[in-house]
Amino acid sequence: GGGPCAGCPGGTYKSSTGTGIVGCSEGGSDVVFADRVVGCNAEWTEPGIAAGAGACAAGWHICASKDDAGASGLTPDACSNNPPEGTFYASLESGPGLFWKCWDPFPGQADGFDDIYGCGKSAWGASLSKEGITKCGSLTAAIANKDFGEWTSMTANPRSESASVLKTGLKNGGVLCCKDSGVTASDISANTGPGLCKSCLPGSYSEVGSVACIECPQNTQSPRGSGALLNCSCLSGFSGPDGARCT
- Give the pLDDT confidence score for residue 123 in this predicted structure: 92
Burial 135-154 (b: 16+ CB within 10 A, else e): ebbbbbbbbbbebbbbbebb
- Give the pLDDT confidence score for residue 209 in this predicted structure: 56
> At residue 230, what are phi and psi to the nearest 5 degrees?
-70, -10
Percent of the chain exceeding pLDDT 70 equals: 78
Q: Tell me the three state secondary structure of residue 239.
A: coil
CA distance 40 to 24: 6
Q: Tell me the three state secondary structure of residue 166.
A: strand
- Region class of 183: left (phi > 0), else alpha (psi between -120 and 50), else beta: beta
- What is the secondary structure of 9-71 as a DSSP string? PTT----SS--S---BTTSS-SEEEETTEEEEE--BSSSSGGGGGGGBPTTEEE--SHHHHHH
Contact present, 37 and 69 (Cβ < 8 Å): yes
129-134, long-range: CB < 8 A, 24+ apart: 130/100, 131/80, 132/80, 133/100, 134/76
Per residue in 26-71, pLDDT (tens digit) is 888 999 999 899 999 999 999 999 899 999 998 898 998 888 898 8
- Give the pLDDT confidence score for residue 173 in this predicted structure: 96
- Give the pLDDT confidence score for residue 191 in this predicted structure: 46
- Give the pLDDT confidence score for residue 197 in this predicted structure: 60
Distances (CA, A) of 140 to 39, 79, 128, 183: 14, 6, 11, 23
- Give the pLDDT confidence score for residue 78 in this predicted structure: 96
Q: Residues 49, 27, 183, 89: what is their CA dihedral angle, to the nearest 10 degrees?
A: -30
HSE (side-chain half, CA atoms, 13 Å) at 23: 33
Digitized pLDDT (tens) for each residue of the chain, 247 residues in all: 344 566 666 665 554 445 578 899 988 899 999 989 999 999 999 999 989 999 999 889 899 888 889 888 999 999 999 999 999 999 988 877 777 777 644 444 345 678 899 999 999 888 899 999 988 989 999 999 899 999 999 988 888 888 899 999 999 999 999 988 644 444 444 444 444 466 777 888 877 655 567 788 888 888 878 888 888 999 888 888 888 888 8
pTM, full prediction? 0.67
